[in-house]
């Protein structure tokens, strides 16, 4: 009898890939063949908000191109260090809408649960880059948030956010979702995640099977800003979710130097739809301190949406919105 040879697994587990994420600016510049002149600012800005990028995402960045639209999303720049009077550490008023630690309740019928503080990537424009997660010890300690949701029958949808909820291991994520399952007034669970885009191996069979079997309708809102992000493995991960009956939507942030062109946004919508993902929101940048260099004016944003309307069917044109602190819903920006 010929002995069975164990299959040689070339790809490390998603957890290993996450552990191996690049956190050192020197290493980032070396791997991407970028000039050392960027190093001092990158180190300084990474002290304000650490650098973090997976190798999977890094592989989609063009070496030597300091204007690469994916690089711009993750490279700490000197611009982050210039304080701006109209930019804030809590730009959307999260802290005024946290009735219990680990839970944000702003909008009627929906509550947002901070499942974890951790993300698989650090987006330089992140609106929660200054969020005091240590005051909201949510991971493994969801008791107060769950009790709050249990007591409010008007909450029909729970949004798992963070950080990125898929930073949790499957067992921890399932434990959390098991706590939500018996709450009869919860109809939907929405998962806000960048993992299918930045570390597609995170979407494994165990996860997709679990989501498929959950009593609640599962909606996954991914976050892609540029068509270069949608490589083959990303498509496979989205297909796995779609095949398991998960509704897929995308939200993008409008970012100067990344996706502030009608051709880029149009291509993004087209590519997303080939993965069964509907473009949902195009967010105007939340005015978070350190991200002002990503801002695009409302005039330009409206012109971009008009150009998209001229190029695309209506269902592929995302809604242009802004989140204002204290508002009861996201505000559409109409032209
Ligand atoms: S994945 Fe989302 S929460 Fe995490 S850093 Fe990026 S924008 Fe912020």
DSSP SS3 for 161: strand
Strand partners, 250: 222, 279
Which residue has its alpha carbon closest to ligand 1 atom 3? Answer: 163
Best mutation site among 53, 118, 128 for ligand 1 pocket (most ligand atoms within 8 Å of CB): 128
How far apart, in whole angstroms, are the C-alpha atoms of residue 327 and residue 138? Answer: 25
User: E-strand spans in 162-225?
Assistant: 188-193, 217-222
Q: Ligand 1 centroid vs 124 CA: distance in angstroms?
A: 8
pLDDT band at 27 (very low <50, low <70, confident <90, very high): very high
Torsion from C-alpha of 275, 268, 193, 181, nearest 10 degrees: -50
pLDDT, tens only, 127-182? 999 999 887 664 557 999 999 999 999 999 999 998 999 999 999 999 999 999 99
With beta carbons less than 8 A apart as the criterion, state whether 265 and 303 touch. Answer: no
- Average pLDDT over the chain, rounded to an integer: 94
CATH 3.20.20.70 domain range(s) in the chain: 95-332
Q: Closest by alpha carbon to 254, among 300, 289, 214?
A: 300
How far apart, in whole angstroms, are the C-alpha atoms of residue 250 and residue 221? Answer: 5
pLDDT, tens only, 200-219? 999 999 999 999 999 999 99
Answer yes or no: is the C-beta of 194 below 6 A from any ligand 1 atom: yes
Q: Which fold has domain 95-332?
A: TIM Barrel (3.20.20)
Helix (H) or strand (E) holding 262: helix 262-274
> Closest ligand 1 atom to the C-alpha of 119?
4
pLDDT, tens only, 172-183? 999 999 999 999
How far apart, in whole angstroms, are the C-alpha atoms of residue 107 and residue 97? Answer: 10
Strand partners, 110: 157
CA angle 163, 320, 99 (to 5 degrees): 40
Which residue has its alpha carbon closest to ligand 1 atom 6? Answer: 123
Q: Is residue 94 predicted with pLDDT exceeding 80? A: yes
Query: Is beta strand 278-283 parallel, antiparallel or unpaired with respect to 247-253?
Result: parallel
């Amino acid at each position: 009898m010929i002995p069975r040879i164990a299959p040689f697994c070339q790809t490390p587990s998603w957890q290993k890939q996450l552990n191996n994420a690049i956190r050192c600016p020197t290493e980032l510049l070396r791997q991407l063949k970028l000039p050392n002149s960027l190093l001092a600012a990158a180190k300084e800005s990474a002290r304000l908000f650490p650098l973090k990028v997976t190798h999977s995402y890094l592989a989609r960045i063009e070496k030597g191109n300091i204007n690469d639209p994916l690089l711009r999303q993750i490279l700490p720049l000197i611009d982050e260090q210039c304080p701006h009077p109209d930019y804030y550490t809590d730009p959307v008023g999260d802290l005024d809408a946290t009735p219990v630690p680990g839970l944000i309740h702003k909008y009627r019928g929906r509550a947002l649960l901070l499942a974890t503080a951790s993300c698989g990537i650090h987006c330089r424009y992140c609106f929660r880059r200054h969020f005091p997660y240590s005051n909201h010890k949510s991971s493994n300690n969801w008791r107060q948030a769950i009790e709050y949701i249990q007591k409010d029958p008007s909450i029909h949808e729970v949004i798992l956010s963070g950080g990125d909820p898929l930073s949790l291991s499957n067992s921890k994520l399932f434990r959390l979702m098991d706590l939500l399952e018996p709450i009869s007034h919860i109809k939907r669970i929405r998962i806000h995640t960048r993992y299918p885009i930045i570390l597609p191996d995170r979407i494994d069979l165990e996860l997709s099977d679990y989501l498929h079997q959950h009593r609640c309708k599962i909606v996954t809102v991914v976050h892609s800003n540029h068509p270069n992000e949608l490589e083959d493995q990303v498509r496979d991960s989205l297909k796995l979710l779609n095949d398991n009956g998960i509704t897929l939507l995308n939200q993008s942030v409008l970012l100067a130097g990344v996706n502030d062109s009608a051709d880029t946004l149009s291509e993004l919508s087209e590519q997303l739809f080939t993965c069964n993902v509907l473009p949902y929101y195009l967010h105007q940048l939340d005015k978070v301190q350190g991200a002002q260099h990503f801002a695009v004016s409302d005039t330009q944003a409206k012109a971009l949406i008009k150009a998209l309307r001229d190029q695309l069917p209506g269902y592929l044109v995302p809604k242009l919105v802004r989140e204002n602190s204290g508002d009861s819903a996201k505000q559409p920006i109409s032209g």
